[in-house]
Amino acid sequence: MRKVAVVSLLLPAVLLAACSSSSSGSSSSAPASPSAGASSAAASSAAGGEEVIIGYAGGFTGDCAIGEVPALDGLNYAAQQMNASGGIAGHPVKVISKDMKGDSATGGTVAQELLDQGADVLVAPCFPGMAAGVIQAGGKAGVPVISATSTQPEFVVVGGSPAFLAAFGDNVQGAAAAEYALKNGAKTSFTVSSPDLSYTQNTPKFFADAFEKGGGKNLGDVSFNLGQTDFSAQVTQIANLPEKPDVIYTAMFPPDTSNFVRALRAAGVKSRMIGADGWDTAALLEAGAEAVEGSWLSTHGAGEPGTEFQKVVDGVAKEKGSASDGPAFVALGYSTLQIIAAAIEKAGSIDPAAVAAAMKDLENVETVTGNITYLGTNGVPKKDVTIGVVEGGKFAYPETFTPSYIPQP
């Protein structure tokens, strides 16, 4: 299998210092914190070809912000580095962005504004409901659409036009968590889900399916609502189970996670917690404290010293003056531009239709969050899952693999 390498271009800090977050030639309505549109200051001098414009219609406020703000930082950082090394196949990169502010109804309008500014590729927000209008606008304009942060398999079909994920699907991360739990001795599980999002509703179902397929027994499920602060009803149901589960799986994310886990521990429930990729944030460690110690989670890469993943995270932190709360999403934003670059190089053009066609055929593309293959898929890539564990108040990453059984989405 031929391997397509997209160089991560990790340059010395002295070179990166020349890439200011207030660069001219950019356009953004996102909050200042993501350094939106910061990628084009040296673009014209870095490369002589026609500019390629990446338009990010993001949820930079609201429920998506926990992932989208760091993802935009990662995307901008990748663009700065690529521009400093000559762009993508000689084309300078410009990132423009606009905040959807958590309003699904604005998707088409925001996307069209970015298209009117010349976007050759659209990056859509994390949840399919928010992304539908963006995907529809991209499809109508013949512009490829990719999400840096979504893991929901329905993302690629909800807008009626082709779309891509930079991350694995929820069916894959749920199955990986189940396989890891079984391999480490778990025999019984219990799930906690929410109907408010397909992410929080379906990922626990994928986990339970894979857990039972592997020989485990799922003892049941209890539901919650996003933003809930009192989990006494859910905790009471779990505490009163006649058989205590070895593990409890949920795809809830901060701030809900820490409230729930602390309530569980206060009620004397000692089952190991397992979460999805929304757990890989500093907020979980800070708010959950000792209650989340020993928990497992699925995520997008190993944030360990010396890895390309960590070099990107550290580079963004140095540039912004503080560590990101969502390092995995920083790396996903970076990976998104690596994927776009691979498609442009394969197409030999920045024509949106050619880039979209090339993206469908990408195989084994190296990114900082793992190798990506779209060939033979519907836009949800073949991609490994990394398992994280909370040890001593920090994340460690013992394994990265593709699960042996993957439920149908």
- pLDDT per position as a tens digit, 102-113: 888 999 999 999
110 phi and psi angles, rounded to 5 deg = -65, -45
pLDDT at residue 128, rounded to an integer: 93
pLDDT at residue 47, rounded to an integer: 53
pLDDT at 96 over 80: yes
pLDDT at 252 over 70: yes
pLDDT at residue 195, rounded to an integer: 97
Residue 281: pLDDT band by 50, 70, 90 thresholds? Answer: confident
pLDDT at 233 over 90: yes
Quote the CA–CA distance of 223 and 238 in Å, as a whole number. 11
- DSSP-assigned letters across all residues of 369-402: T--BB-TTSSSS-B--EEEEEEETTEEEEEEEE-
Quote the CA–CA distance of 365 and 340 in Å, as a whole number. 10
- Of residues 290 and 51, which shows the higher confidence score? 51
Residue 150: pLDDT band by 50, 70, 90 thresholds? Answer: very high
Q: Which long-range contacts (C-beta less than 8 Å, at least 24 apart) are formed by 212-217?
A: 213/178, 213/405, 213/407, 214/178, 214/179, 214/182, 214/405, 215/182, 216/178, 216/181, 216/182, 216/186, 216/187, 216/188, 216/189, 217/187, 217/188, 217/189
pLDDT at 227 over 50: yes
Q: Are 358 and 374 in contact (CB under 8 A)?
A: no
Query: Which H helix or E strand runs over 52?
Result: strand 52-58
Please give the average per-residue pLDDT across 5-22, as a whole number.
Answer: 37
- pLDDT per position as a tens digit, 21-44: 333 333 444 444 343 344 444 444
- pLDDT per position as a tens digit, 120-144: 999 999 999 999 999 999 999 999 9
pLDDT at 309 over 50: yes
Please give the average per-residue pLDDT across 236-261, as a whole number.
Answer: 95
In order of start, what are the domains of the chain with their CATH numbers?
13-168+303-378 (3.40.50.2300), 170-299+387-401 (3.40.50.2300)
pLDDT at 84 over 50: yes
Please give the average per-residue pLDDT across 170-187, as a whole number.
Answer: 98
